[in-house]
Amino acid sequence: MTQFAALLRALSEAGVEYIVIGGVAASIHGSVRSTLDVDIVYRRTPENIRRLVLALTPHHPYLRGAPPGLPFRWDEATIQRGLNFALTTDLGDLDTLGEIVGGGGYDALLATTEVVHAFDLDCRLLRLDRLIEVKRAAGRPKDFEAIAELELILARRRSSAS
């Protein structure tokens, strides 16, 4: 089971610069669809990669779906030489993404984010309109239902604001 708040807390308390995307961002925006993991885009600076390592190491990150016993090390070299990691941790499943299709990396996404305060922490997530755009850009048929729901939420939000 993924402890959504605990995962975000671990990242925030370590000072990791990250943006929540995917199903958790959709839920925060009002989606009623369920999700099993947390997806984040992390900033790929050496300092932030170091913070990401420190944040997750106590929670034993490992490559999700990989056979046990592989010589995987959650360290700065591994992250610097890779980009996107689908992880399982003691707090649940976490996808740490250096870049996403249609959105790029942390710095490219930053202008289209917002910060929500919940569980005594500030959580930066992708804005609803941008979340729809990146889901559309990914072009995955499995996302069509989610996009439909998010567009209806956006339409409601805009109509209530006007």
Partner 1 sequence: MTEPGRSSIDDIIDVYKRDVDVSLIVENLKRSVEERLERLTAFQSFIEEMRVARTSSDR
Interacting residues with partner 1 (CB under 8 A): 1-5, 24, 27-28, 30-32, 34-36, 116, 118-119, 136, 139, 144-145, 147-149, 151-153, 156
The minimum distance between CB 133 and partner 1, in angstroms, equals 12
Concatenate the DSSP letters of all residues of 50-80 into one string.
Answer: HHHHHHHGGG--EETTSPTT-----SHHHHH
Q: Tokens 């420190």 — which residue? A: 54
The minimum distance between CB 132 and partner 1, in angstroms, equals 10
Cβ closer to partner 1: 44 or 136? 136
The minimum distance between CB 139 and partner 1, in angstroms, equals 8
CB 41 within 8 A of CB 102: no
Neighbour count for residue 7 (Cβ, 10 Å)? 24
The minimum distance between CB 53 and partner 1, in angstroms, equals 25
Helix (H) or strand (E) holding 6: helix 4-13
Cβ closer to partner 1: 58 or 139? 139
Cβ closer to partner 1: 83 or 144? 144
Amino acid at 156: R
The minimum distance between CB 52 and partner 1, in angstroms, equals 21
CB 131 within 8 A of CB 138: no
Q: Please name the residue ranges forming H helices in 30-143.
A: 46-56, 76-81, 106-109, 128-138
Cβ closer to partner 1: 92 or 105? 92
Cβ closer to partner 1: 60 or 156? 156
